[in-house]
Structure 1
Amino acid sequence: MANLNNMPIGSKVKVKSISKDASVRKRLLEMGVVPGVTVEVTGKAPLGDPIEIIVRGYKLTLRKDEAEDIII
């Protein structure tokens, strides 16, 4: 399965699910990262951590391990 961590900058993808065993699952859902929403990867740090995305019109920064829990 593909996850958000593997997407290059500029990618627009639709969220399929969030891993059930993710420690930040509830927090991601509360911030609007829900199945069916489109997110755009707008930036990555040089070593790939953190990742900046646009979701529902606002910028959100995620750690690499949090982005791996978002299935696209």
Structure 2
Amino acid sequence: MEEILSTYLTELPIGFKGYIVGYDKIFGGYQGKLLSMGLSPGTEFILVCQASNNWPLIIEVDGNLLKLYKPEADALCIE
């Protein structure tokens, strides 16, 4: 699979495996919620599903499926 670098989950193909590298300062209010979901820097994820109009997104982290809505997904900086 070719390497894709992006800051937005919606730009990634289903099945993409990436890492969380931080949080967007604009959406900083979501950092606590994301941390409580286990989405800390260094966490590996797989993009499992994009529902209609791209929301919600579903990612897999450590065998668990997590549903993310636009503000949560946009707050993640990924690679």
Deviation at 1:13, TM superposition (A): 0.4
Cross-structure match for 1:61: 67
Shift of 1:3: 2.6
Displacement over 6 Å in runs of 4+ = none
- Secondary structure of 2:33's aligned partner: helix
Give the root-mean-square deviation of aligned CA atoms: 1.5
Bigger Rg, structure 1 or 2: 2
Which structure 2 segments of 5+ residues have no match? 1-5
Q: Is the 8 A contact 1:32 1:56 kept in 2?
A: no
- Report if the CA contact (8 A) 1:5-1:64 is conserved: no
Aligned residues: 72
Superposition pairs of residues 43-58 of structure 1, within 5 angstroms: 43-58=49-64
SS of the residue corresponding to residue 15 of structure 2 reads coil
Give TM-score, length-normalised by structure 2.
0.80
What residue ranges of structure 1 are gaps of 5+ in the alignment?
none
Q: Give the letter for the 2:14 counterpart.
A: I
Please give the TM-score of this superposition, normalised by the length of structure 1: 0.86
Identity %: 32
Which of 17, 20, 25 is the matching residue for 1:15? 20
Kindly tell me: are residues 34 and 70 of structure 1, through their superposed partners in 2, closer, same or farther at Cα, counting changes over 3 Å?
same
Q: 1:42 aligns with which of 34, 41, 48?
A: 48
Rounded Cα–Cα distance in structure 2 between residues aligned with 1:52 and 1:38: 14
